[in-house]
């Protein structure tokens, strides 16, 4: 329950609780009691007055408001300003007790826009000027819930089990994920138009142009290590080197960090050049791919605007730089602290390090290759003020980010997203993910000599995707699904606001 927001709890109550209004009221009264106790103030729930019973009576007020306060709690699913006005006026007229006025605290189970709150309060103040009106919605309640969640857990037993069941039930309903993707693309296009888009790039971008992925890179580095370490009098074939490299990977328990440190220690001064040789030896002749082309086009600013505000990449290579160069766009690779792009330059932040094919033109390249040092990678995980963490966290907090070529499983990335979500409760970022084909389940059934149950497989696959969406939503990510990698360039071109001009 600690990982759920108060809004999610209330939504779940509305779907699973037979008396959500009663449960909501009990939760709110308990949260109020804990909040008031910290300032030695009193709450009297279900207080009876000659004019009728009220939800709660605060004789010493609340917070910095010392006046006697009447609490009116309302469970509803819809925002209806006129209904709220009417209800509060009736309550105020019924309980117009003191010549000097009193506070009326209205607590409601929905989100009300700040502008609507002002409209409501101004209207009420004009009708009842001696009464101070306060409105708490899900924003204030979420703050209290985050602080006192343990005290209300007994009112909502098995809440996470209910949440899971709710997701499963919804998964059984038909969902047009392609239509939902088009809606998300439209939203992203508006973000691009409004100069608020940050692009995050992962290994899938570079591999589309022929560069090796992380596993293949380490495997080839191990082959190079074997070649350089063996005495000259020992003959070894290329196939034997590959077999030995696989064996060495197994000895390191398939830990990428251990493998990287192992190779770095063995190659020493030749490490950087070997990485560069392996990275670029099989690159496509034009240094690009349809996917990289579409990203480059997205970086062309709309007239009089920025479009893409910055690029954050977890890749070492300079393929994006080459693409922007071919488009005559001004850019600056950023790979160490204190580097800052100029106003007319698109910053390309290499947060895991930078290794261009021609590294002689750059300083501090070796020190930037963080993920090849276990110590430095641990610094990434533990040090919140490390420059690359601050860059990412700032973008996640202040802008809208699109993740391309990333699986979303990197622990540090997820940690930063989770921190940023504390400020922005809604999911405002986007990630492109490949849907799991039902063929995966069918093959497993066939391998185990089981009759293929198509209905069961389709249902499980739907539940799987809905659970993934829920998981990423908790990190502030909306999922744009695709079925084939070849779809990615077209999706990115649709996001590009320049196409619509």
52 has a pLDDT exceeding 70:
yes
Q: Nearest-CA neighbor of 408 among 318, 460, 480, 486?
A: 480
Residue 99: what pLDDT?
37
Residue 249 has pLDDT above 90, yes or no: no
Please provide residue 172's backbone torsions phi and psi, each rounded to the nearest 5 degrees: -75, -15
Mind spelling out the 3-state secondary structure of 161-223? HHHHHHHHHHHCCCCCHHHHHHHHHHHHHHHHHCCCEEEEECHHHHHCCCCCCHHHHHHHHHH
* In 17-104, alpha helices (H): 20-37, 81-94
Which structure tokens are listed for 179?
A: 């239509």
Higher pLDDT, 86 or 495: 495
Total residues belonging to the chain: 501
Q: Which two tokens stand for residue 228?
A: 């350089």
Residue 174, pLDDT above cutoff 80 = no
- Would you tell me how many other CB atoms lie within 10 Å of the CB of residue 443? 12
Q: What's the rounded mean pLDDT across residues 268-274?
A: 79
Q: How far apart are CA 38 and CA 492, in angstroms?
A: 52
Which tens digit of pLDDT belongs to each residue from 126-167?
Answer: 888 888 889 999 889 988 888 887 777 666 655 555 555 555
CA atoms within a 13 Å half-sphere pointing along the CA-CB vector of 473: 11
- Nearest Cα residue to 369 out of 291, 296, 274, 242: 274
**With contact defined as beta carbons under 8 Å apart, do 171 and 466 qualify?**
yes
d(Cα 415, Cα 434) in Å, to the nearest integer? Answer: 22
Residue 127 to residue 261: CA distance in whole angstroms: 72
Phi, psi of 106 (to 5 degrees): -100, 120
Mean pLDDT on 52-60: 87
Q: Which residues contact 118 (CB under 8 A, 6 or more apart)?
A: none
**Torsion angles phi and psi, residue 349, rounded to 5:** -90, 110
The whole-number average pLDDT for the span 274-303 is 85
Model pLDDT for residues 326-361, shown as the tens digit of each residue: 999 999 999 988 888 988 899 999 998 888 888 777
CB of 108 closer than 8 Å to CB of 137: yes
Position 22 scores a pLDDT of 86
Instruction: Give Cα 406 distance to the centre of its chain.
Output: 12
Indicate the range of 1-10, 86-95, 216-225 predicted with least confidence.
Answer: 1-10
Single out the residue of 105, 144, 154, 108 nearest to residue 5, CA to CA: 144
The label of the residue with tokens 């709890």 reads: 9
Helices (H) and strands (E) in the chain, counts: 21, 12
- For residue 1, what pLDDT is reported? 46
Mean pLDDT score, 82-104: 73
pLDDT at 165: 57
Q: CA angle, corner 194, sides to 337 and 332, nearest 5? A: 30
**CA atoms within 13 Å, Cβ hemisphere of 234:** 10
d(C-alpha 206, C-alpha 212), whole Å: 8
pLDDT in tens, 17-27: 677 888 889 88
> How confident is the model over 204-210, as a mean pLDDT?
89
Mean pLDDT of 437-443: 85
Rounded-to-integer distance, Cα 435 and Cα 470, Å: 15
Residue 172 has pLDDT above 60, yes or no: no
DSSP code string of 250-318 = HHTTT-HHHHHHHHHHHHGGGHHHHHHHHHHTT--TTS--HHHHHHHHHTSPPTTS-SEEEEEE---S-
Helix (H) or strand (E) run with residue 154 in it:
none
Name the average pLDDT for the chain.
83
pLDDT (0 to 100) of residue 2: 46
CA distance readout (Å), 434 to 34, 344, 408, 485, 500: 46, 35, 12, 8, 26
- Asked if residue 226 lies in contact with residue 241, where contact means CB atoms within 8 angstroms, the answer is yes
CB atoms within 10 A of CB 462: 19
Sheet with 52-58, side-by-side order of all strands: 44-49, 52-58, 69-74, 103-108, 132-136
* Of the candidates 290, 271, 248, 416, the residue with the CA atom closest to the CA atom of residue 353: 271
Segment 376-406, tens digit of pLDDT: 666 666 677 788 899 999 999 999 999 999 9
Contact 167, 467 (CB under 8 A): yes
By C-alpha distance, which of 66, 137, 123 is closest to 89? 123
User: What per-residue confidence (pLDDT) applies to 188?
Assistant: 94
| Side-chain half-sphere CA neighbours of 384 within 13 A | 8
How much is the average pLDDT of 108-115?
88
């Amino acid at each position: 329950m600690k990982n759920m927001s108060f809004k999610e709890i209330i939504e779940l109550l509305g779907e699973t609780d037979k008396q959500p209004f009663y449960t909501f009221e009990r939760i709110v009264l308990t949260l109020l009691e804990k909040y008031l106790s910290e300032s030695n103030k009193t709450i009297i729930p279900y207080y009876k007055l000659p004019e009728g019973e009220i939800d709660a009576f605060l004789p010493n007020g609340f917070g910095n408001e010392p006046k006697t306060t009447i609490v009116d709690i309302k469970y509803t699913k819809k925002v209806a300003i006129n209904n709220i006005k009417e209800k509060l006026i009736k309550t105020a007229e019924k309980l117009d007790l003191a010549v000097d006025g009193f506070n009326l605290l209205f607590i409601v189970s929905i989100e009300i826009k700040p502008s609507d709150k002002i409209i409501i309060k101004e209207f009420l103040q004009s009708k009842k000027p001696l009464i101070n009106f306060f409105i708490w919605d899900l924003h204030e309640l979420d703050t209290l819930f985050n602080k006192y969640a343990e005290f209300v857990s007994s009112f909502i037993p098995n809440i996470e089990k209910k949440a899971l069941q709710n997701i499963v039930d919804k998964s059984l309903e038909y969902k047009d994920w392609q239509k939902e993707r088009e809606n998300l693309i439209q939203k992203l296009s508006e973000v691009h138009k409004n100069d608020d888009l940050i692009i995050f790039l992962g290994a899938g971008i570079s591999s589309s142009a022929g560069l090796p992925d992380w596993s293949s890179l380490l495997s080839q580095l191990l082959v190079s290590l074997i070649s350089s370490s063996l005495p000259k009098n020992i003959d070894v074939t290329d196939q034997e080197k590959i077999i030995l490299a696989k064996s060495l990977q197994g000895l390191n328990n398939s830990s990428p960090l251990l493998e990287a440190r192992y190779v770095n220690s063995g190659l020493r001064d030749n490490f950087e050049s070997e990485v560069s040789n392996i990275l670029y030896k099989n690159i496509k002749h034009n240094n690009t791919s349809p996917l990289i082309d579409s990203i480059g086009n997205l970086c062309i600013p709309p007239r009089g605007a920025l479009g893409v505000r910055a690029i954050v990449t977890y890749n070492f290579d300079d393929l994006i730089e080459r693409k922007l160069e071919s488009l005559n766009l001004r850019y600056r690779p950023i790979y160490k602290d204190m580097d800052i792009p100029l106003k007319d330059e698109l910053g390309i932040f290499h947060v895991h390090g930078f290794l261009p094919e021609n590294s002689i033109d750059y300083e501090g390249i070796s020190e930037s290759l963080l993920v090849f040092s276990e110590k430095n990678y641990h610094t990434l995980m533990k040090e919140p003020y490390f420059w690359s963490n601050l860059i990412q966290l700032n973008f996640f907090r202040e802008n809208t980010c699109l993740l391309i070529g990333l699986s979303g499983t990197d622990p540090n990335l997820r940690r930063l997203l989770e921190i940023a979500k504390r400020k922005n409760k809604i999911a405002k970022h986007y990630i492109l993910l490949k849907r799991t084909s039902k063929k995966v389940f069918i093959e497993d059934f066939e391998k185990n000599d089981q009759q293929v149950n198509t209905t069961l497989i389709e249902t499980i696959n739907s539940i799987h995707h809905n659970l993934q969406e829920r998981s990423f939503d908790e990190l502030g990510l909306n999922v744009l699904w695709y079925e084939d990698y070849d779809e990615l360039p077209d999706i990115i071109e649709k996001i590009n606001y320049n196409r619509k001009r």
